Structure 1
Amino acid sequence: MQFGEAKKFILGKLKKELPQHLSYHSVEHVKDVFDSCKFIAAGEGVKGEDLKLLLTAALFHDSGFLKGPKEHEKKSCQIARKHLPDYGYTAEQVKKICGMIMATKVPQQPQTHLEEIICDADLDYLGREDFFIIGDKLFAELSVYGILSTEDEWNKLQVRFLEAHHYFTPTAIKLRKKKKDKHLKLVKSKLGH
């Protein structure tokens, strides 16, 4: 498994080919999820091959946006299946990676510990200081797609999303839940709730 080479390949491809209007699903988001996976994995005691598979999934999890936003998780798996064997990944490893990628589809339904970690990493920002900064990027992206047009609609969507979301790993629950709950209260207060 040539993890370093696979990482270099996919980050280069994303930098070069991702559409500019993706203010949220950008290379920065991929790097953020990668770092969050490392952080949560350390707290959960994940290392060795499992850690490499988890980090590979993080690098590829939104690569489907290269082919468009619709069902991007499936497209991400197609890209992973196409390219990872070139870097010495076995069919079984690619299958695990695709399981992790598919688990990030909202509503998240992880089946394994590694899938729980990537799900928590993908939405790590919900319980971090940069919640509103990153949220603004997602609002801008959704506005481009015509999904939302007003800040009020955005705040209502955020309330629904935050209320429905929960972290899976003990590490994320311990380190992110409290702050996430605080963000929910703040967004509700913007709506006068």
Structure 2
Amino acid sequence: MNYVQLLEDVKNEMIRFFHTHENPELVYHNLSHTQAVVASAAQIARHYKLDDRDFFVVCAAAWFHDAGYYISGATEHERRGAELATAFLQQQAVDEFVISDVRNCIMATCMPQHPATLLEKIVADADLYHLGTDRFIELNKKMRKEAEWRKGEKIGKSEWRQGTLKLLESHLYHTDYVRDLLEQGKRANIQLLKEKESDTPAPLMITTEQGPVPETPVVKKVKIERPERGIETMFRISSNNHQRLSDMADNKANIMITTTSIILSVLLSVLLRKLEDNPHLIIPTVLLLTVCVTTLVFSILATRPALPEGRFTPQDISDKKVNLLFFGNFFRMSYEEYNKGMQQMMNDRDFLYGSLTRDVYSQGVVLGRKYRLLRKGYNVFMFGIIISVLAFMIAVVFFS
């Protein structure tokens, strides 16, 4: 079964579902949240190197896990989401064992969570991934607004914070990967909520003719300095994205190298031998050879590595001009020299972030070169193949 295409069908079906059942009052459990859960599930799944079948299971479960909110509300929405997933996948003739795994993964998001298998743990962690991120406060406000709509009355900030604190303190991430990645962020969010709660003053009492009544306090907002996790996350995501784009470029180049190599092999081994008897095919053959060789050259140039000098000087370290995070700048240096430079970089915040910035920039420059060469290669191949085929057709029809 083509699980890649099947997952695309699930995606299109759920996007259509959310647009059809759109409810502006569901400000949290909506398409945006579902897409974020799918992205988190895919990220965790890639870390654990799941095969196509299991990758489909966790992503399909993530797409359907909150669909039940749009059928008849929050109560048992997981069960209704599982029923929707079962009905759709059965229409696609998906194996019952796969459907069962998708259904179990959706049910694993029920609170409190008790996932059993790795796939269930991945979906459960993806559903509450935001608890350890910088977006937690923003999303928590949306959850409160949605809860007030369902309840039909206002929920006090202190009451909501206490309930949220109880959730965070009792919650555990189930996969080692997410635990290592987000546990520290979750603790920071817990601390932030506690500080906000401690900053809420008790109501002041004023005396009136009717007796003491509470005075509405003026609460001074305290700006809490956030850790620099956002900057570090930005660099990590940027670097990962660039690496993924680089891998994609290499794959595209490999496809073109393989394709043109096969065509060249056929031309050199079969067609060239028959040109003496078919002189009218000489020009189309030479044209096709030129196209394939040019495409091959561009594809090889796109993947050919550029190797820098591999050395840096103490002056480069002092001027903070060298990127010690790229092997091309130090592979000819001794370990002692490299370690000394790294220690100096780690002790200097500006040097460290400057190196990270330079590293991301350098990756972008390399990617730009790769994709420019690939685009030229693909253009040459696309237009060249068309012209070559036309040339062969003209030669055969008019000159054979």
Alignment of 1:140-179 (within 5 A): 140-146=145-151, 149-179=155-185
1:93 pairs with 2:98:
yes
Give the direction of change, closer, same or farther, for the CA distance of 1:88–1:148 in structure 2 (3 Å limit).
farther
Question: How far, CA to CA, are the matches of 1:30 and 1:87 in structure 2?
Answer: 22
TM-score, with length taken from structure 2: 0.47
TM-score, with length taken from structure 1: 0.95
Which letter maps to 1:163?
E
Higher RCO (CA-CA < 8 Å; seq separation 6+): 1
Alignment of 1:37-76 (within 5 A): 37-67=41-71, 68-76=73-81
Which letter maps to 1:25?
H
Which letter maps to 1:9?
E
Report SS of the residue matched to 1:108: coil
Q: Which residue of 2 aligns with 1:114?
A: 119
Question: How far, CA to CA, are the matches of 1:171 and 1:148 in structure 2?
Answer: 37
1:71-106 Cα deviation digits (max 9, x unpaired): 000111111111111223221111100100000001
1:40-78 Cα deviation digits (max 9, x unpaired): 112222231100111000001111112121100011111
1:79 pairs with 2:84:
yes
Aligned-residue CA RMSD (Å): 1.4
Which letter maps to 2:195?
S
Is the 1:6–1:87 Cα contact (8 Å) retained in structure 2? no
Unaligned ranges ≥5, structure 1: none
Report SS of the residue matched to 2:112: coil
Q: Which residue of 1 aligns with 2:129?
A: 124
Which letter maps to 1:132?
I
Pairwise CA distance, 1:148: 5.6
Report SS of the residue matched to 2:57: helix
Question: How far, CA to CA, are the matches of 1:102 and 1:16 in structure 2?
Answer: 24
Q: Which residue of 1 aligns with 2:16?
A: 12
Unaligned ranges ≥5, structure 2: 200-400
Q: Sequence identity of aligned pairs in percent?
A: 28
Report SS of the residue matched to 2:43: helix
Pairwise CA distance, 1:19: 1.9
Count residues in correspondence.
193
Report SS of the residue matched to 2:104: helix
Mark the structure with the bigger radius of gyration.
Answer: 2
Pairwise CA distance, 1:185: 0.8
